Structure 1
Amino acid sequence: MSNALYFPKISIPETPWTLQTLLYWNKIGTIVPSEFLENPYNLSPFMRSLVQEEMVEQIIPGQYIRESSFGDAFLAFIDNNNEIKRIAEKDKLRNTQRYIQIHLEKLSYVGEELIKRKLAWRGENNWFLVEETVGLRFMSYLAMVLGTKANFTPITDSYMNISSIISDTQRPRKAEQHFNRSKIRKRILKNILPTPIEVNHPLEILRFKEKYSDQLFNFRRYIEDFILELELIPEDSLEQKVSAFEERVAYEKEELSNRMRDRSWITLDFATLCAICPSTYQLFEGFASHDYGKVAQSIPGVIGPVWAATQLKKNEHPNSPLAYAVILEGKFNARK
Structure 2
Amino acid sequence: MDKILYFPYINLPKTDWTVRTLLYYDNIGSIVPQEYFYSPEENYEAFMLELVQSELVIPIDPIQTLDNPWEVSRPFLHFLEVNQKRLSQRRQTFIEGKRSRIHLEKFSGARIHTGKFDGEIFYQLEQMGLARREEDNWYHVEKYTADHLMKFLATVLSSKLKMQPTTDNFRKRFNSGPNHNHKSKRETILANLIPFPEEIDFNKIRKFKDRHLDLLKEFRNRVEQIVLDDTIIEGTELFNVKLEELTLRKNELTAKMNESQIRNIIFGSVCGVIGASQGLLTAETSGVFIGGLPGFASAIHSALKIEKAENVIDQSGLKYLALVDKRIRLGKNHQVIG
The bucket for the TM-score relative to the shorter chain is 0.5 to 0.7
- C-alpha spacing 1:105/1:162, structure 2 compared with 1 (3 Å): farther
Alignment pair present for 1:196 and 2:192? no
Q: Structure 1 length normalisation: TM-score? A: 0.68
Match of 2:233, SS? Answer: helix
Conserved? CA contact 1:192–1:249, under 8 Å: no
Structure number with higher relative contact order (C-alpha < 8 Å, ≥ 6 residues apart): 2
1:141 to 138, 152, 166: 152
Percent of aligned pairs with the same amino acid: 29
2:253 to 254, 257, 260: 260
Shift of 1:38: 0.9
Report how many aligned residue pairs link the two structures: 263
Q: Which amino acid aligns with 1:320?
A: S
Give 5+ residue unaligned stretches, structure 2: 108-118, 259-313
Alignment pair present for 1:150 and 2:150? no
Look at both structures and tell me which one has the larger radius of gyration over its CA atoms.
1
Q: Which amino acid aligns with 1:17?
A: W
Name the residue aligned to 1:100: 100
- C-alpha spacing 1:181/1:51, structure 2 compared with 1 (3 Å): farther
Name the residue aligned to 1:241: 233
Q: Which amino acid aligns with 2:324?
A: L
Name the residue aligned to 2:298: none
- How far, CA to CA, are the matches of 2:181 and 2:71 in structure 1? 26
Q: Which amino acid aligns with 2:169?
A: S
Q: Map 1:77-226 to 2 at 5 A.
A: 77-80=79-82, 84-90=86-92, 93-96=94-97, 98-107=98-107, 108-160=119-171, 163-164=174-175, 176=177, 180=180, 183-184=183-184, 187-226=187-226
Q: Which amino acid aligns with 1:109?
A: E
Shift of 1:153: 1.3
Alignment pair present for 1:21 and 2:21? yes
Offset from partner CA, 1:95-151 (integer Å, 9 cap, x none): 41x211111222342222222221111121222111111111211111111111122
Give me the CA root mean square deviation.
Answer: 3.0
Alignment pair present for 1:332 and 2:328? yes
- How far, CA to CA, are the matches of 2:153 and 2:226 in structure 1? 26
- How far, CA to CA, are the matches of 1:83 and 1:23 in structure 2? 45
Name the residue aligned to 2:306: none
Shift of 1:22: 0.6
Name the residue aligned to 2:76: 74
- C-alpha spacing 1:106/1:263, structure 2 compared with 1 (3 Å): closer
Name the residue aligned to 2:63: 62
Offset from partner CA, 1:43-74 (integer Å, 9 cap, x none): 11111111111111110011234254421222
Shift of 1:30: 0.5
- Select between 26-35 and 81-90 the one with higher mean Cα deviation: 81-90
Name the residue aligned to 2:49: 48
- How far, CA to CA, are the matches of 2:183 and 2:162 in structure 1? 19
Q: Which amino acid aligns with 2:124?
A: E
Q: Which amino acid aligns with 1:242?
A: E
Conserved? CA contact 1:20–1:193, under 8 Å: no
Structure with greater proportional helix content: 1
- C-alpha spacing 1:12/1:224, structure 2 compared with 1 (3 Å): same
- C-alpha spacing 1:262/1:32, structure 2 compared with 1 (3 Å): closer
Conserved? CA contact 2:20–2:194, under 8 Å: yes
Give 5+ residue unaligned stretches, structure 1: 166-175, 234-239, 266-317
Name the residue aligned to 1:278: none
Conserved? CA contact 1:192–1:246, under 8 Å: no
- C-alpha spacing 1:263/1:201, structure 2 compared with 1 (3 Å): closer
- C-alpha spacing 1:193/1:264, structure 2 compared with 1 (3 Å): closer
Conserved? CA contact 1:2–1:27, under 8 Å: yes
- How far, CA to CA, are the matches of 1:51 and 1:4 in structure 2? 15
Q: Structure 2 length normalisation: TM-score? A: 0.67
- C-alpha spacing 1:183/1:37, structure 2 compared with 1 (3 Å): same
- How far, CA to CA, are the matches of 2:257 and 2:227 in structure 1? 33
User: Which stretches of structure 1, 4 residues or more, deviate above 6 A after TM superposition?
Assistant: none
Offset from partner CA, 1:187-207 (integer Å, 9 cap, x none): 235433322334332112223
Conserved? CA contact 2:7–2:30, under 8 Å: yes
